[in-house]
Amino acid sequence: MGRTIVTATGQANRQICFVTNDTPDADAAASRLRARYGDYPFDEAQIIVALGGDGLMLQTLHRAMKSDVPVYGMNFGSVGFMMNAFSEDRLCERLEAAQSTRIYPLSMTVVSQAEGTRTALALNEVSLFRSTYQAAKLQIIVDGEVRLEELVCDGVLLSTPAGSTAYNLSAHGPILPIEAQLLALTPISPFRPRRWRGAILSNRAAVRFITREPGKRPVSAVADNVEFHNVQEVTVKEDRTHGVTLLFDPGTSLEERVLTEQFRF
């Protein structure tokens, strides 16, 4: 059971839950932080502090979405795009001063030969991938209108602004300002039409992907870390009924990081 720790100023800390990526360094740091600031179960916490990398942050955000508890990350990974710098000192003051960013997931509904109709949420992107050596053939429908009759490719992804600097950027998709009401539709290694580079869509758009020749050219669909195989069609749209709040130290907000990324060479 968690306990309340009182600082030298006489103010009680907020109820914090510490989670880690299970590496020795992160676990040792979490043990010291728990001794200083207390520790509460995940479902009783007012703030989640995640010690790890962006992978842990993504997992933690999915867990926190159910209770709508804000998440503050400290970097113990490699990239740490969504993390703050690690320090054991003045944690309560940092949490009080932190700037918040609200992000919303994509809702993915898949129809697959093996699993029927299934759903999942994605904070970064929904991706479709070819599952064999043969290229995928996909029809793309936006708001009920066929926009691309056939895309022959390794795959395609639909990204949120928060995810636009992740896999989407590696696939040469556009970086979206974090508060933009937009989604990035980006092909992965397109073969035909070879020069199609994707599209920027309204966040209100409903995007449907239909697989061509699914028996011969199987396709999998992934929402962040949830994967379905042998999909026949996938529908994706933003889900505003869910959301999660990220916390960043002043001057290092997610908005600022995304803007800075656009000027990197």
Q: Find out whether 131 is annotated in a ligand binding site.
A: no
**Active-site hit among 43, 54, 143, 224:** 54
Q: Find out whether 167 is annotated in a ligand binding site.
A: yes
Beta bridge pairs of residue 110? 118, 234
Active-site residue flag, 54: yes
Q: Find out whether 58 is annotated in a ligand binding site.
A: no
As a whole number of angstroms, the distance between CA 42 and CA 130 comes to 37
Q: Find out whether 84 is annotated in a ligand binding site.
A: no
Q: Find out whether 28 is annotated in a ligand binding site.
A: no
Q: Is 151 helix (H, G, I), strand (E, B) or coil?
A: strand
Continuous segment of H or E residues that includes residue 34: helix 24-37
Q: Find out whether 20 is annotated in a ligand binding site.
A: no
Q: Find out whether 166 is annotated in a ligand binding site.
A: yes
Residues with Cβ < 8 Å from 24, sequence gap 6 or more?
A: none
Q: Find out whether 43 is annotated in a ligand binding site.
A: no
Which pair of tokens denotes residue 145?
């209108």
Question: Which residue type does 237 have?
Answer: K
Question: Which residue type does 84 have?
Answer: N
Q: Find out whether 151 is annotated in a ligand binding site.
A: no
* Structural contact between residues 144 and 130, judged by C-beta atoms closer than 8 angstroms: no
Beta bridge pairs of residue 136? 153
Q: Which residues are annotated as a binding site for NAD(+)?
A: 54-55, 124-125, 154, 162, 165-170
Q: Which residues are annotated as a binding site?
A: 54-55, 124-125, 154, 162, 165-170
Active-site residue list: 54
